[in-house]
Amino acid sequence: MIVQGLAFYMFAAILVASAVMVISARNPVHSVLFLILSFFNAAGLFILIGAEFVAMILVIVYVGAVAVLFLFVVMMLDIDFRALRSGLLRYLPIGGTVGLILLVELAVVLGAWAVAPEATTGVAAPLPPPEITNTRAIGQLIYTQYVYLFQASGLILFIAMIGAIVLTLREREGVRRQNITRQVSRRREEVVAVRKVPTRGGV
């Protein structure tokens, strides 16, 4: 238990610290790298609560693909982020006030924390029996009870894909494209001619 406790505090502390660094790092590339670090620690926390599937998917999807593209874009951008951030001090009072209000509200809400007694009985999320791995358990839920949401999320990604293509794809004129079929179906006789070249004659 001690080891788990220590691991939790380590993951949690690094997660919070790196999340702070994401918004405070001067260099945007460093921000993205800290973001990746915080993803990792979130994955670590998931592993600690036994949700290994979610942890791995977090790493594969967010760290392995999404953050790579972030990094890709941020590295290509030539924005003076220091200039962008110069407004920080100007907006600090109002932002700080809003944040403070939200914090107080949260405190009020949490202070009055009372989960309805009916609510606890309504939490109909039975833990899977121990012999079923949690990957299988998630699969059994996603494809039965939540199949509607699963499919609808797919639809959202489909729309996002169409959107990305519509807004960025431009057919450029005058680009010579490779036609693989034609290249492959080309026969030797069509392109090679064997000629007898007379000495000093040329073709």
Interface residue list for another protein (CB under 8 A): 3, 27, 29-30, 33, 36, 52-53, 56-57, 59-60, 63-65, 68-69, 71-72, 75-76, 105, 108-110, 112-120, 122-124, 133-135, 143-149, 152-153, 155-156, 158-160, 162-163, 165-167, 178, 180
CB of 174 to another protein, least distance (A): 16
Q: How far apart are CA 186 and CA 182, in angstroms?
A: 6
In the complex, what is the shortest distance from the CB of residue 13 to another protein, in angstroms, rounded to a whole number? Answer: 20
Tokens, residue 93:
């009072």
In the complex, least distance from residue 141 CB atom to another protein, rounded to whole angstroms = 10
Minimum CB distance to another protein smaller for 144 or for 199:
144
Contacts (Cβ under 8 Å, ≥6 apart) of 175: none
Distance of alpha carbon 30 from alpha carbon 26, whole angstroms: 8
For another protein, the closer CB: 123 or 193: 123
CA distance 143 to 154: 13
Shorter beta-carbon distance to another protein: residue 178 or 199 = 178
Rounded distance between C-alpha atoms, residue 32 and residue 62, angstroms:
12
- The Cα–Cα gap between 104 and 107 comes to 5
